[in-house]
Amino acid sequence: MLFNSIEFFFFLPIVLCVYWLSSHEFQNRFLLVASYYFYGLWDIRFLFLIVLSTSIDFLIGLLIDKGRIDKEQFYKSTAWVFISAIVFLIIIWPSPVKLFSENSSYFSSFSINNFGVQLVIYLLFGWCLGILLLRSILSQQETKVKKKIYLAISVSANLSILAFFKYFDFFINSAENLISSFGGNIELFHLNIILPVGISFYTFQTMSYSLDIYRKKIESTDHFLDFALFVAYFPQLVAGPIERASNLLPRILNRRTVSYEQVSRGVFLIFWGLFKKIAIADGVAGSVNSIYNTTGNVSSLDVIFATLFFAIQIYCDFSAYSDIARGTSKLMGIELMRNFNLPYFSKNPSEFWQRWHISLSSWLRDYLYIPLGGNRGGGLNTYRNLMTTMLLGGLWHGAAWNYVLWGAYQGCILSIHRYFYSGKDEDKKISVFRSTLTIVLFFLVTCYGWLLFRSTSFSQITDFTSILLTGWTDFSLNIKRPPLVVFISLPLLILYEIIEYKTQNILFYRALIKPILGGAVAFILLCIAMGLSNEPTQFIYFQF
């Protein structure tokens, strides 16, 4: 279900009405069902992966923290796994549209997936074998060793699921291409796996739960269904922010009240996100595609404008999702972390990653960069750790080499910045001109990174780079022109962010006099209405 879809327009009010009128315990159970429904509309089969990841990390969390699992907790989580396997893998559910069809019976349209039956049998065998092996091995180990093995099981299970669904075919294709480059001709086994929506996000979220328990930053929870809600909470399930258990889980476990402040701020964030997504991101998508999806000749101006438009698109698209997620969550009294903080006002790569996709960059810092050694051990070790972190961060974004190259580019500019500016105090009293110039120049550096990110092949990267460096004899412009709504919406976004940047106040708009504020709200709604004529596009980060 998309935030900018008609389905969500009806889904959210129904969820809020039931939620506001319910007790705390029922709120959590209802939100869990609503979250599973929200995700299941994409492909109900992949709900099983969420349930499996939930059960594994719930049990592992108890083992790391308490060294044992109560029978009730074990039976409850195990039953949840196998009931979910039957419901989501064995049963083939008919389309909900058949409920309203006069020519067919909905309940006679159910069928059995024989392959799903085989998967459940394998799952049962593997589950039982894993328990027996675990008990036999860990009964002979010391407590510290046990905790390390428990953590290794959690990390291995999560990364194995992620690697299989996201990277199996990618590495098979890469191996075939490598062999063919040496004159070989071999066709390896392909599965043509469908990528589950949001798997990278909820995998990192559940994995951080086990890691934080191991580091003694949080305690495990005994409430399985509440933990299941932490994993599947629908506002941020598909594209983040990647929440830590230390922030989100207590808000789920404890009673919540919804204040007027949260409702007003939440409504604003939802409409501001829809404005960025519908009016701007969807508006420039066609222009970006007209150059990056073409195989014809393009000019240097085409590449420049397409890349600038993509910088606008990816920011407005992704930050819009985060805004709507945060706004929706505020309406339920649950605060989510801010995922974007004016990233295009960054003056250097280090600052950029403190402002862009904050939940991922902080995750990579805390669970990858620092454990690798961080900036300890001298310059070479630091550069190695930066490059490793950003390479894996690039690969996290997608199963394609251009993402790896983008990660390498980010690692290089971070390393270069650290080499020249490490240990030097920043001059905070620089002139406005110098500050603006620094922001603009680094924005151009960022844009070349977006060229790597958006390109569809290595050949396109080399062609476009060559055009930028040498193709200044052709000034033709073949890019598709964005619709009018982009040209009237973009200045408002820029003005809004400049004021927020200068005031350092995310609520500055509340100080506006009512006629101006009312006019701005009306203008935003007008832009959203105009943007409905744009061809809707899926949120970019759904593919990650």
What is residue 497's predicted lDDT score, i.e. its pLDDT? 94
Question: Which residues of the chain carry a pLDDT beneath 70?
Answer: 93-111, 113-116, 134, 137-138, 140-141, 169-171, 173-193, 422-429, 543-544
Nearest one of 64, 76, 541 to 281, comparing CA atoms: 541
| Inter-helix orientation angle 71-85/114-138, to 10° | 160
> What's the pLDDT at 279?
94
Give the pLDDT confidence score for residue 45 in this predicted structure. Answer: 82
The pLDDT of residue 423 is 59
**Distance from the first to the final alpha carbon of the chain:** 16
| pLDDT computed for residue 533 by the predictor | 86
pTM: predicted TM-score of the whole model, two decimal places? 0.89
- Give pLDDT, residue 175: 64
Evaluate whether 227 touches 221 at the Cβ level (below 8 Å): yes
- DSSP letter for 366, please: I
pLDDT of the residue at 4 = 81
On the question of a cis peptide bond just before residue 235, with omega within 30 degrees of 0, the verdict is: no
Rounded Cα distance, 454 and 306, in Å: 10
- 223-226: which pairs have CB atoms within 8 A and are 24 or more residues apart? 223/253, 224/58, 224/73, 224/76, 224/77, 224/80, 225/28, 225/29, 225/32, 226/28, 226/252, 226/253
Kind plus residue range of the DSSP H or E element containing 6: helix 6-20
Residue whose C-alpha is closest to residue 362's, from 448, 443, 246, 276: 246
Residue among 190, 223, 357, 397 flagged as catalytic? 397
Residue 190 bears catalytic tag: no
CA atoms in the 13 A half-sphere facing the CB of 498 = 9
| Contact indicator for 407, 393 with CB cutoff of 8 Å | yes
Check residue 149 and give its pLDDT. 85
Q: How far apart are CA 224 and CA 202, in angstroms?
A: 16
Question: 3-state DSSP helix/strand/coil percent for the chain, to nearest 5?
Answer: 70, 0, 25
pLDDT number for residue 180: 65
Tokens of 434: 């110098």
